[in-house]
């Protein structure tokens, strides 16, 4: 019999945190949710969300770790909380998966060093949608054959950061695969500042934040007399769960640092 993995969820009151709790509950033969954390969590959280009454809830992540002794933390909080929680997990020998957006390059370097120093598994997932990861992979392949490219990423109005971590990861993969920067658009006059979006090594990055959206990403590549448009649409948060389950399985068997689902998929 496979031993169950004891898990705490950081950022449990957010939409991704709630969906994670539901999915882990649906896979109770593999996982036991022992704790849930959020600064806004209440004593009624378990009852309100029809969760197992044995789950410990806390506004303090440090107290939660001390009272639950988990094997793994799944984090869907905010950047500052994710970084603090990762350090606490490392100090307590707890593996760490985060899908929190807004982590910068220095954060990633710090988490990689933390994983090596404490011999724990740390997994950063800019996107847990399998379709989005496939799009990212395809974009890195076809991007080698085009000199110009833009990425348009669209998310719900509540998303706090821009561009999305997924869009940045896609652009970086395209640049690495190409081995050079893309050609920047030669706009000479801007009637409105920022109208060409952000620029990452020649790739234009454009962010939409609108009610009614969940998530969508388009990679548009231009050549002489032609355009190639690649797109992926996320309809709900359930789409992230198969990828999250793969990350849990991987990190539980590999005590190292891993960035992105693309690192563990056979692409």
Q: What is the pLDDT of residues 4-45, one digit of tens each?
A: 999 999 999 999 999 999 999 999 999 999 999 999 999 889
155 is catalytic: yes
CATH superfamily entry for domain 130-234 = Dihydrodipicolinate Reductase; domain 2 (3.30.360.10)
Provide the pLDDT for residue 187: 85
Q: Over pLDDT 70: what percentage of the chain?
A: 99
Catalytic residue among 155, 178, 206, 232: 155
Cβ contacts of 243 within 8 Å, gap of 6 or more: 125, 127, 128, 129, 130, 133, 261
Would the pLDDT of 144 be above 70? yes
CB 154 within 8 A of CB 216: yes
232 is catalytic: no
| DSSP code string of the chain | -PPPEEEEEETTTSHHHHHHHHHHHHTTTTEEEEEEE-TT--TTHHHHTT--TT-EEES-HHHHHHHH--SEEEE-S-HHHHHHHHHHHHHTT-EEEE--TT--HHHHHHHHHHHHHHT--EEE-S---HHHHHHHHHHHHHGGG-SEEEEEEEE-TT--SSS-HHHHHHHHHHHHHHTSPPPPP-----SSTTTT-EEETTEEEEEEE-TT--EEEEEEEEETTEEEEEEEEE-SGGGGHHHHHHHHHHHHH--SEEESGGGTS--
State the pTM of this model.
0.87
Which CATH architecture does the domain made up of 5-124+238-263 adopt? 3-Layer(aba) Sandwich (3.40)
Catalytic residue among 137, 156, 159, 255: 159
Tokens (6 digits) for 145: 């054959």
Dmax over CA atoms of the chain, in Å, equals 67
Topology agreement, domain 5-124+238-263 and domain 130-234: no
CB 229 within 8 A of CB 222: no
Say which residue the tokens 């991007």 belong to.
143
Provide the pLDDT for residue 53: 80
Closest CA to 241 of 46, 64, 25: 25
pLDDT band at 73 (very low <50, low <70, confident <90, very high): very high
Domain positions in the chain are 5-124+238-263, 130-234
Instruction: Render pLDDT for 182-202 as a digit per residue (tens, 0 to 9).
Output: 998 788 888 998 888 999 999
Work out the mean pLDDT of the chain and round it to a whole number: 93
């Amino acid at each position: 019999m496979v031993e169950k993995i004891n898990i705490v969820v950081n950022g449990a009151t957010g939409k991704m945190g709630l969906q994670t709790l539901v999915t882990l509950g649906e896979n109770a033969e593999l996982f036991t949710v022992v704790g849930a954390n959020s600064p806004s969590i209440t004593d009624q959280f378990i009852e309100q969300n029809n969760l197992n009454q044995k789950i410990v809830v806390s506004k303090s992540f440090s107290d939660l770790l001390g009272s639950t002794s988990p094997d793994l933390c799944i984090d869907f909080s905010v950047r500052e909380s994710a970084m603090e929680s990762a350090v606490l997990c490392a100090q307590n020998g707890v593996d760490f998966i985060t899908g929190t957006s807004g982590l910068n390059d220095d954060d990633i370097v710090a988490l990689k060093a933390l994983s090596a120093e404490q011999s724990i598994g740390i997994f950063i997932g800019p996107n847990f949608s399998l379709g989005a990861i496939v799009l990212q992979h395809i974009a890195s392949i076809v991007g080698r054959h085009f000199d110009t490219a833009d990425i348009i990423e669209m998310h719900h109005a509540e998303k706090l950061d821009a561009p999305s971590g997924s869009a940045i990861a896609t652009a970086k993969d395209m640049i690495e695969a190409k081995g050079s920067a893309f050609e920047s658009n030669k706009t000479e006059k801007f009637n409105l500042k920022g109208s060409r979006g952000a620029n990452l090594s020649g790739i234009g990055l454009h962010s939409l934040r609108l009610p009614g959206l969940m998530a969508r990403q388009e990679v548009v590549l231009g050549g002489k007399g032609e355009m190639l448009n690649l797109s992926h649409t996320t309809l709900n948060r359930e789409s992230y769960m198969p990828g999250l389950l793969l990350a849990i399985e991987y990190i539980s068997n590999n005590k190292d640092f891993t960035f992105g689902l693309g690192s563990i998929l056979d692409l």
